[in-house]
Structure 1
Amino acid sequence: MATAAVLALAWVAPDAWLRLQADHRSTRAIETVSLPDGSRAVLDADSAIAVHYDGHVRRIALLRGQAWFEVAHEASRPFQVEAQGSVVEDISTAFAVSRWNDQVEAVVEQGRVRVAATERGGWTYLDAGQRARIAPAGRVTRLDDVALDRIAAWRDGELLLETASVEEAVQRIARYRPGATFVRGDLSALPAVNAAFRIDRPEQALDALAVSAGLSVTRLPMGVAIVAPAQ
């Protein structure tokens, strides 16, 4: 019990900075936010945004996780989403932005956006069904197009993993668990994951991933789970 309590505390402590910066934050459930201009944001579980509007620009900072945006058109005030220094700017559209580790991904459901690795521009334009990944080195990489009904599928209760590393897959399932999830050991040599899981059944998802990827899952009190390579 003491070990579980220590791990749970270590899981909660780093979130203090997030509570100070975020205007809207979801916990273990999806949350819909009405923004001041009539736009709408849907936050995935364990996601957070900060809202910075002024007379010239509508700026959203994606602090954690992923969010889908439906933007109210205002020609005089662009709508921008910033994540880890990169910028996604709306051109009358609906789109999703996610940040995982040190990379940002944008995908367009309706209309058009433009993305850049920094505020200085160097824009890449994306239309409906198109997506791009922005790396910390300043590169914008176009990814394969995606079917519109698979964009931000978490809104419909489905977690889609496409060539995700095993550690990323664990982290993404962990967003929906009520307790802390820790990875122990090196998972980098394990094959990439392509799978679909229900987000309302995170324990089943974690167990299924463990079986397919060759992992062990140790569950402790307080909902703590420790994931490691199987021996």
Structure 2
Amino acid sequence: MPSSRRLKLVAVAAVTVFLILIYYNSGRDAVKRETYMQTMQKAAQDRENVGVGSRLREAADAAKKAADMKAGPKPDSPRAVEAVMKGRLEQGLLEKEGSQGDNGGEYSAVDDLAGILRRSPIIIFSKTYCPHSQAAKNLFLRAYNIVPAPYVVELDDHPHGAELQDLLAKRTGRRTVPNVMISGKSIGGNDDVQQLEKDGRLGDTIHSMGGKRIMRVLKLKE
């Protein structure tokens, strides 16, 4: 039978081991708790940083939008204006009306005019040798940047120019050239459009009569 002294030693050893285990487990739990708290703090800080970054981006976007609205639309570069002018001149002054030639069937001035009017909101019926026609073309094609560009029909180059001119006289009450039409309605000849320009009403007239088909009317600097 073990002596009382040995039993005491065993009891002391057991208590010591028990206390060591408790201390070890409590220390490990403390480490876990500290690690968990650090993880939660880092996650909260990350969320805060994301929120701040998002607010900063929103503020920057709002400031940029406000600056753009205050500054207005950016003007076209000289090269862009030159390219548009070249395209307008090629289309308005050099391109021949696709429906001007005979297509093997019977010619219809009504159908021809309908096709011409679909080319652009602004049509200028002209003759190559007419100085008044040239003045009107210069006003619409060189003094203004209009999109889509005005379309020019040279009646003296058109194989059925006389028939078209007769139809225009019936439709618009105007036989002479130039005959400027916007959305199928005549606004007159060179004297009329020059007067609109002098009164500062040409751009507004183009916008109001052209409606949604007119995308741009910009007066170019001389």
Name the structure with the higher helix share. 2
TM-score by length of 2: 0.29
Structure showing greater Rg: 2
TM-score by length of 1: 0.29
Name the structure with the higher strand share. 1
| Larger relative contact order (Cα-Cα within 8 Å, sequence gap ≥ 6) | 2
